Amino acid sequence: MNTFRKSFIKKKPLKKASTKEQSAMEYLMTYGWAILIIAVVLAALFQLGVFNPMTFAPKAPPGSCQVFRPNGPGTTSFINLEGICSGELPQYVAQFNGAGTYINCGNSNNLNITGNAITIVAWIYVKGTPLHDIVDKEGQYGMKLNGNCGAPFTLEWDTSNDWVGTSYTIPNSNCDKWIFVAVTMNATTKFWYGDGQLLGTKAISGSISGSSQDVFIGALGPGGGGGEWFTGFISNVQIYNTSLSANEIQALYLEGIGGAPIDLQHLVGWWPLNGNANDYSGNGNNGQINNVNFVSNWYSGYTPP
């Protein structure tokens, strides 16, 4: 009888996953979807500016800073700023939605500026289609923006002695970004500024003539029905009956969107647009609102100078 010997090959047993690894896998399988949803929500909140440090910065309520004129509107003796005027961010800005939205600031004597001494400044944030009137007093003076969202904007400065305005490009400007714009004029020259920097100049002749039209913010007059509607946000509009210097324009820019006027003697209108259309220059040029909203969540696209 033959004897057969069986050979046995020992197989190495499969290594079992450690308890920690198994627990981690089970955790991911159980809660992975929840983690994904939280990540998506956090990304959306970040995009909306919820985590923007500007959200947590102190905010100035409406009317917190204003010019006091003890002798009444139009006077310049003993005038001064009252309230919290140290450049806090505004609680609100004005939202313009294109056709049919504007603020009518009237046509008081101090807004009917003649001669050749004038300055207009504002903070703006553009949305939508181009060709935006920022401030306009038809037939006398105006400041507007032209261009497309995919390229830098051009700033246009119109006056009655040169109504077909020349435009200058604002470097690094675009939609969805706050921009400081300013135009000034003296006896011989017009000046264009973007974010505190001089963009260009133009020699002029003649002087600004008077106009019976009202001053509009966000639209072309008369009656706000002239078109060229603004789409986006506007804040801190100031008008002076003097030509501010380049250093003064730079100083206004560096104050930021909540900055106060710097030449009270020549200030004729100041509309912070912080929750209302009131004129805080002390000259009583309170605006009449037409379909303009005031929004508090405006910080996206704003970088302090």
Do residue 28 and residue 118 come from a single domain?
A: no
Q: What pLDDT score was predicted for residue 6? A: 45
Number of domains in the chain: 2
Do residue 263 and residue 114 come from a single domain?
A: yes
Residue 155 lies in a domain: yes
Pair of tokens at residue 90: 């505004």
Do residue 70 and residue 91 come from a single domain?
A: yes
Q: What pLDDT score was predicted for residue 5? A: 47
Q: What pLDDT score was predicted for residue 269? A: 98
**Would you list the DSSP string of the chain?**
--------PPPPPPPPPPHHHHHHHHHHHHHHHHHHHHHHHHHHHHHTTTT-GGGGS-EEPTTSEEEE-TT-TT--TT-EEEE--S-PEES-EEEEESTT-EEE----GGGS--BS-EEEEEEEEE-SSS-EEEEEETTTEEEEEE--TTS--EEEEEETTEEEEEEEE-TT--SSSEEEEEEEE-SSEEEEEETTEEEEEEE--S-BPP--SPPEESS-SSTT-S----EEEEEEEEEESS---HHHHHHHHHH-TTPPPS-GGGEEEEE--SSS---TTSS--PPEEES-EEES---TT----
Do residue 251 and residue 290 come from a single domain?
A: yes
Do residue 42 and residue 108 come from a single domain?
A: no
Do residue 79 and residue 101 come from a single domain?
A: yes
Do residue 44 and residue 111 come from a single domain?
A: no
Instruction: Look at strands 267-271 and 80-83 and give their pairing.
Output: unpaired
Do residue 83 and residue 169 come from a single domain?
A: yes
Residue 263 lies in a domain: yes
Query: From first to last of its 305 residues, what are the pLDDT tens digits of the chain?
Result: 444 444 444 555 545 556 766 666 666 666 666 666 776 665 555 555 555 666 667 788 999 999 999 999 999 999 999 999 988 999 999 999 988 899 999 999 999 999 999 999 999 999 876 668 999 998 899 999 988 888 899 999 999 988 878 899 999 998 889 999 999 999 999 999 999 999 999 999 888 998 889 999 999 876 545 678 899 999 999 999 999 999 999 999 999 999 999 999 999 999 999 999 999 999 999 999 999 999 999 988 899 99
What is the domain range of residue 233?
60-295
Residue 16 lies in a domain: no
Residue 6 lies in a domain: no
Do residue 37 and residue 139 come from a single domain?
A: no
Residue 43 lies in a domain: yes
Residue 1 lies in a domain: no
Do residue 145 and residue 284 come from a single domain?
A: yes
**Among residues 56, 79, 101, which one ends one of the domains?**
56
Residue 14 lies in a domain: no
Q: What pLDDT score was predicted for residue 250? A: 98
Do residue 52 and residue 76 come from a single domain?
A: no
Q: What pLDDT score was predicted for residue 4? A: 43
Q: What pLDDT score was predicted for residue 8? A: 43
Residue 273 lies in a domain: yes
Do residue 160 and residue 66 come from a single domain?
A: yes
